[in-house]
Amino acid sequence: MEKLSLEYIVRTPKVTSEKTSLLILLHGYGSNEEDLFSFSSELPEDLLIVSARAPKSLGFGSYSWYTINFTASEGKFSDIPEAIEARELIATFIAEIQEHYKIAPSKTFLLGFSQGTILSYSVALNYPEKVQKIIALSGYVNAELLPKNLEIKDYSKLDFFISHGTVDQVIPVEWANKAPEFLKQLQIKHCYQEYPVGHGVAPKNFFDFKNWIEERL
């Protein structure tokens, strides 16, 4: 494992070519790089899959991208300075991985879960030239992590798959379902799905975003 900005694990395709697409995985709070990577065996064999580990150790194999105050309101839920630092770290890591494996932004997917989704939104909307296809699972758009100049960014190539559980006990579905209208106002291509589950990925959810990826390979 080459030393880059973040620790990571990787599944390389049997054959790599100029058509190879990259999928970067960002896990949620209290998890690690092995979590979402468990999906990899069910995803297309020609995908290069990289699963990153968040930088802040919580002990016992658990990590976070930034500190969360679980008893706070939506506005004070996240440590914003830490989240911005994590966003910049992820943006750098994406560029490093693209350079190392010679993958273009147009062939790059970014998949986040929960805290990883919040940062995936932030990376894509701040740096739309770095990543274009985003799978946003069980997260929400945090306005404090968005650029101040949204109207001058080129979002024409962005494409989002968004999903959330209707009985999510960690991040309320009402936070997540604000995203479609927000993206619509920016004329960003997206689809939004809800599933009758809590804070997790239902089998139907996995099947749907797998199809979404396959349609874009």
d(C-alpha 138, C-alpha 134), whole Å:
13
Which amino acid is present at 202?
A: A
Amino acid identity, position 134 = I
pLDDT of residue 43: 96
Nearest to 20 by CA among 52, 54, 49, 42: 49
Residue ranges per structural domain of the chain: 8-216
Question: In the structure encoding, which two tokens stand for residue 167, read together?
Answer: 């009985």
Report how far apart the first and last C-alpha atoms of the chain are (Å, whole number): 26
Q: Could you give the CA distance from residue 194 to residue 167 in angstroms, rounded to a whole number?
A: 10
For residue 147, the 8-state DSSP code is -
Q: What is the pLDDT of residue 184?
A: 97
The CATH number of 8-216 is: 3.40.50.1820
Whole-number Å distance between alpha carbons of 111 and 32: 14
Profile the chain (217 residues) by mean pLDDT over runs of 10 residues.
85 88 97 96 95 97 90 69 97 97 96 98 97 97 94 95 97 96 97 97 97 97
Instruction: Note the pLDDT of residue 213.
Output: 98
pLDDT at 15: 82
What pLDDT does 14 receive?
82
> Are the CB atoms for 54 and 35 separated by under 8 Å?
no
The structure tokens listed for 197 are 């589950």
Composition of the chain by helix, strand, coil, percent to 5: 35, 25, 40
**Which residue, among 180, 101, 97, 102, has the nearest Cα to 110 in the 3D structure?**
97
Torsion, Cα 125 53 44 105, to 10 degrees, reads 30
Q: Does an H or E element contain 210, and which?
A: helix 203-216
Q: What are phi and psi of 65, to 5 degrees?
A: -80, -30
Structure tokens at 106: 């147009």
The first and second tokens of residue 168, run together, are 């999510």
At 74 the pLDDT is: 56
